[in-house]
Amino acid sequence: MTAALIYRECVEAIRRGDLIEREGANDKEFHFQNWFEKRLIGLGVNYDQPGRNSYPDFRLVDSPHGYELKGLAYPGRDATYDSNSQVPVGVHHGRTVYYVFGRYPKNPDGNRYPVTDLVVCHGDFLNATTDYVHKNKSFKGFGSYGDIMVRDRKMYVVPTPFALAEGTAHRTTLILPAGENPGAGFTEVGKLVRREVNEVVIAYEFDLRTNALVTKTAPNLHAGREHGFVAYRLNGEPTDAVSMRSARDVLAQMSEDADE
C-alpha cells in the first residue's frame, strides 16, 4: 500500500465531507488519528494498533511502511510541532516512514469538524539523518542531599511542511522523494530541494549554575548534499505551485511559534 493511495483516500474523504469526530473537548490527541484510521479501514489495510508510545503511530503489516500523525489546530501553532521521543526520520527499523499533517479548526462549534488542509510527506523531507538513535539518559546525585535524579529527556521541535513550503496552506499536498512516482491521477505542482548544512550539532552541555546551554558542532560529512522532493496534488485539486521557503523565513516562523 503506497503513500499515494493512502493520500488519495484522505483527499477523497475530505471531498466527501468526512468529518473528524472527537469524544469531547478533552480529546486533544487522538481525534485526528481516529479520522486517519478510518481511511486505512476503508482501504482494507492491515496495520498494528497504535499505542501511546509507539513510533510511527500506524505500522502497516503487509508492507514496510509506517505513518506518523500530527494534528494541528488552526489558527494557532502550526509552523512547528513537538516530538517528545523520536526525531523525524524517513526510515525507522527498516520501515519507510511518512508523516501526515492535518489542520482543523482551533475552536469548532461542536465535536465534529473538517480537515481543512493536509500534507502527507516522506520523513526525509523533515530530516535526512537516519543513524541517530534517540535515548533518554539520567544521573543521580543532584541537590543539597545528593539524592535527586536528573533526567535528560529530549524534546525535538520540528518545522512542519506548512512552514517549510509555500503553497501548502489551505490545500492538500503529497510530498515524495524525487524519483518516487505516485502513479496515475496526480499532477506535479512543485520541485523542492533541501540542502544539508555545513556543520551539525554533535553534543551539548547544560550548566546547572547559570542555566546556560552550549552546543558543540562538527563538520557535516555530507555538507551541501541536496535532497530532492516533488509535490503533487490529486487531479481536480488546485494546481497553484508549492515551493521551498528560505531557511531564514522558516527560522522566523519557528521563533513566532515559540513566542506564541
Is 236 a residue whose pLDDT tops 60?
Answer: yes
For the chain, the residue count is: 260
DSSP, residue by residue, 42-94:
HHT--EEPP-TT-SSSEEESSSSEEEEEEEEEESS--SEEEESS----SEETT
pLDDT band at 9 (very low <50, low <70, confident <90, very high): very high
Q: What pLDDT, on the 0 to 100 scale, is given for residue 131?
A: 84
Question: Given this model, what pLDDT does residue 26 score?
Answer: 67
106 pLDDT above the threshold of 80: yes
Q: Each residue of 161-209: pLDDT tens digit?
A: 999 999 999 999 999 999 999 999 999 999 999 999 999 999 999 999 9
Q: Sorting pLDDT into bands at 50, 70 and 90, what band is 15?
A: very high
- Mean pLDDT value across residues 76-100: 92
Identify the band that residue 113 occupies on the pLDDT scale cut at 50, 70 and 90: very high
Mean pLDDT of 79-95: 90
CA–CA–CA angle 204, 129, 212 (5° rounding): 15
The values of phi and psi at residue 147, to 5°, are -120, 20
Model confidence, pTM: 0.93
Confidence of residue 20 (pLDDT cuts 50, 70, 90): very high
The strand pairing partners of 138, in sequence order, are 151
Q: Compute the half-sphere exposure of residue 101: CA atoms within 13 Å on the CB side of its CA.
A: 31
